[in-house]
Amino acid sequence: MSARHHPADAVLADYAAGTLRPGFDIVVAAHVESCERCRRHVRLFEKAAGAMMSDLPPAEMSADALPLMLARLERNPPAASADAPIAPPRDTRSLIERLPVKRRRWLAPGVWVQPIDVPQLPGDKLYFLRVAAGIRGLHHGHSGPEFTAVVSGALRDGKTTYRAGDFIECDTEVVHRPKVLAQDGGCLCIAASEGSLKGQGFLGELIRTIAGV
Ligand SMILES: [Zn+2]
């Protein structure tokens, strides 16, 4: 089933340009990997940026240009030529499966969080959150933006249902209490946040103190 909730085009343009914060870039990458529509949009943004770059005079490369270029090459590997050396077999696991993770921490029966072990900007968090079917999540707000991609299962937030592959963007205006739907089993999400969750109630406090998100 294809995703019904996608990143805004402004987010996809920043993703194509490689200017998203590192954790947020990974959550968008997880969505884009499974979404043909967003892969098409990203290709268009990359083409448009390439056309604009070719019109500019040469400039000195910034210090982070090389890591960004390597990340881009990993996303879009160049086609191999006939006389190229034989490359080692490509890792065919999805991005989600390849991410290095830290120890899983149980926050409550049926709820665990697992930080993802990649470099972050100070104060940013990137983690998997798994909530068992039927559990209503913590009532919480956000001190900064938060990107979430649903990996499996489904959750309902207000009147909107998000299923595997869907992308959710929250800002500091949003205070909500998502609920994992019982009929789809548990829900696994990958989320990036800037700043802390402003948890309300028991589970909110627990997540903030134990998991540091
Ligand atoms: Zn999409």
- What is the chain's Cα-based Rg? 19
Q: Is residue 191 within 8 Å of residue 148, measured between CB atoms? A: yes
pLDDT given at position 203: 46
Centre of ligand 1 to C-alpha 150, Å, is 12
* Selection from 4, 20, 22 nearest residue 12 by Cα: 20
pTM for this predicted structure:
0.75
Centre of ligand 1 to C-alpha 208, Å, is 30
Residue 170 has pLDDT above 90, yes or no: no
In tens, the pLDDT along 67-82 reads 555 455 466 655 555 6
**Which CATH number does 9-95 carry?**
1.10.10
Centre of ligand 1 to C-alpha 8, Å, is 9
Centre of ligand 1 to C-alpha 44, Å, is 14
Mean pLDDT rounded to a whole number for the chain: 79
Centre of ligand 1 to C-alpha 123, Å, is 27
Q: Which residues surround ligand 1, an ion (CB under 5 A)?
A: 3, 6, 35, 37-38
Centre of ligand 1 to C-alpha 139, Å, is 27
Residue 56 has pLDDT above 80, yes or no: no
Spatial separation of the C-alpha atoms in residues 97 and 10, rounded to whole Å? 27
Architecture of domain 100-211: Sandwich (2.60)
Centre of ligand 1 to C-alpha 213, Å, is 26
H helix intervals, 103-152: none
pLDDT given at position 54: 67
pLDDT given at position 42: 96
Cβ atoms within 10 Å of 201's Cβ, excluding its own: 11
Chain position carrying tokens 């090389």: 66
**Position 167, amino acid:** F
User: Domains of the chain: which residue ranges?
Assistant: 9-95, 100-211
Centre of ligand 1 to C-alpha 39, Å, is 7
Tokens of 206: 């627990």
